[in-house]
Amino acid sequence: MTETILYEKSGAVATISLNRPDRLNAFDGAMHRELHAALDEAAADEGVRCLVLRGEGRGFSAGADLKSEDLRREDGDPPDLGEYLRKSYSVTVTKMVEMEKPIVAALHGPVYGAGVGVALACDMRVAAESARFSVAFIKIGLMPDAGVSFFLPRVVGLGRAMEMSMLGEEVDAEEAHRIGLVNRVVPDERLREEAAGLARRLAALPTRALAQIKRSLYSSFESNLETALEREAGGQSLCGRTADHREGVAAFFERREPRFSGR
């Protein structure tokens, strides 16, 4: 990939790194486009069974780059932020949620504004002890975007989401773990290793079953019981025809560890 996004593959795990450390990995239009391309590449690669999303430099992401040309107009009038969102974060977050492979976020330093939304669009989050989270939109007179209004109340509850969104106060890594914002907290020097280890575990599991889990859990928030039960039945029909299901059953009866292929 080009310089604002780094893409590397190790075995069945692809690592996507936000690479604007001089701007604290703040997003501009170019970085969104390059991230979209990286996500598309990982989605299309059958050899990739899990992704890690991380940031270079001293933090994960400060959110939107307010100095970006994408957020300025030559006539000096305010840009239409909604139009910018539709071409940037809305595409980014949708690609991540619809990705039929798990995504692990490796978070350190500042995770601010839209950076929180991108982190929440990952399926699991590993935080370094240095990680700090702030839904900072209110500090510049804006409401949360990048999917924060969807993910945050579902992850931490409505009351805490209101507090974080309305006050914009910083939450440290331990508090983030306590309220369920992240799955685990590790020393900074172990962050990359821990995230990669979790990704390798996920990559070794039945990929198609993971895709159905991801789809059904996201959909459950908008479903009644009848719809959820039917979605389970449809997903199980698909999983039941996979090579990984056959391997899992064979391993069960042979009393050995299964060797899943992702097929």
Sheet holding 124-128, edge to edge: 5-10, 13-18, 50-55, 103-107, 124-128, 184-186
pLDDT at 74: 62
Integer Rg of the chain from CA: 19
Q: Does 263 fall in a domain?
A: no
User: For 12-21, 212-221, 234-243, which range has the lowest pLDDT when averaged over its residues?
Assistant: 234-243
Q: Is the pLDDT of residue 79 over 80?
A: no
| Average pLDDT rounded to a whole number, residues 12-40 | 96
Quick one: 95 and 181 in the same domain? Answer: yes
Residue 261 belongs to a domain? no
* Domain membership of residue 181 as a residue range: 5-203
pLDDT band of 75, cuts 50, 70, 90: low
pLDDT at 76: 62
Residue 189 belongs to some domain of the structure: yes
Q: Which of 108, 133, 120 is nearest to 54 (CA)?
A: 108
- Stretch among 14-28, 71-85, 134-148 having the lowest mean pLDDT: 71-85
Q: Quick one: 183 and 213 in the same domain?
A: no
In this structure, are 244 and 128 located in the same domain?
no
Which band of pLDDT confidence, cut at 50, 70 and 90, is reported for residue 73?
A: low
List the structure tokens of 192.
């990359």
- The span from the CA of 103 to the CA of 96, in Å, is 8
> Within this chain, do residues 248 and 157 fall inside the same structural domain, yes or no?
no
In which residue are the tokens 């928030």 written? 221
Buried residues in 184-209 as b, exposed as e (16+ CB within 10 A) = ebbeeeebbebbbebbbebbbbbbbb
> How many structural domains compose the chain?
2
Q: What is the pLDDT of residue 162?
A: 97
* Residue range 175-200, pLDDT digits in tens: 999 999 999 999 999 999 999 999 99
CATH of the domain at 228: 1.10.12.10
pTM for the predicted model, two decimal places:
0.91
- Segment 31-61, tens digit of pLDDT: 999 999 999 999 999 999 999 999 999 999 9
Quick one: what percent of the chain has pLDDT higher than 70? 97
